Each structure stands twice: as C-alpha cells, then as structure tokens.
C-alpha cells in the first residue's frame, strides 16, 4: 500500500477526523466569542450598529473560521506527537526485548 509522508492510510484518516473535530470545536468556541463581541459592539458602538448585515456576518464568519483553523491545527499537531511517542515506545520496547534475549 502506498504511504505518504510516513503516515499510513489509517493514521491519515484518523488525523483528518481529529482535525475535523478540532475545526468544529474551534469554530463553535470562537463563534460564541465573536457573537458576544458583536452583541457588545451593538450596544456600545454606533459605528458597529451602522455596519451592513453582510459585513457583520463576514466578521462573525471570519472569527469562526480563524478559530476552527487554529483548533484543527492544534489537534492535528497533538495527534502527530502522540503517534510519534507511541512509535518510539514500540521501537524502544522491541529493542529492550532484543537486548533481554541476548
């Protein structure tokens, strides 16, 4: 089976799912945050109230996309670190078992 970048197909699929879940979580968190800021802007700023609904939607979506991308990247990096650690443990365990046999 063809491998790319040292990841097996199953590992790549798991990493992709982890990134997808991270995007949803990040978009939700940052979406709530930008909604709170939007509500504060509505009550406190006449400039924000004067913006068009399209621009306010753009601002909201920008916050959600930024948060989703940041969280997805963070989760994929954590997954990669976890996989490297597991591979290192398996490699060290195999080396230890070979030394014990000698």
Each residue's pLDDT tens digit, 25-39: 999 999 999 999 999
Is residue 60 a contact partner of residue 38, using CB atoms and an 8 Å limit? Answer: yes
Residue-wise pLDDT tens digits, 5-15 = 555 688 889 99
Phi, psi of 59 (to 5 degrees): -60, -45
Q: Roughly what angle, to the nearest 10 degrees, separates helices 53-101 and 9-44?
A: 150
Task: Report pLDDT for 4.
Answer: 56
pLDDT band at 98 (very low <50, low <70, confident <90, very high): confident
Query: According to the model, what pLDDT value does residue 100 have?
Result: 85
Distance (Å, whole) CA 84 – CA 5: 13
pTM above 0.85, yes or no: no
């Amino acid at each position: 089976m063809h491998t790319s970048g040292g990841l097996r197909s199953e590992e790549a699929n798991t990493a992709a799912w982890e990134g997808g879940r991270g995007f949803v979580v990040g978009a939700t968190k940052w979406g709530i945050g930008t909604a709170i800021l939007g509500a504060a802007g509505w009550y406190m700023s006449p400039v924000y109230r004067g913006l068009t609904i399209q621009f306010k939607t753009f601002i909201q979506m920008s916050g959600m996309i930024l948060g989703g991308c940041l969280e997805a990247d963070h989760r994929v990096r954590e997954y990669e670190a976890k996989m490297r650690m597991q591979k290192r443990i398996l490699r060290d365990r195999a080396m230890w078992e070979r030394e014990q046999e000698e």
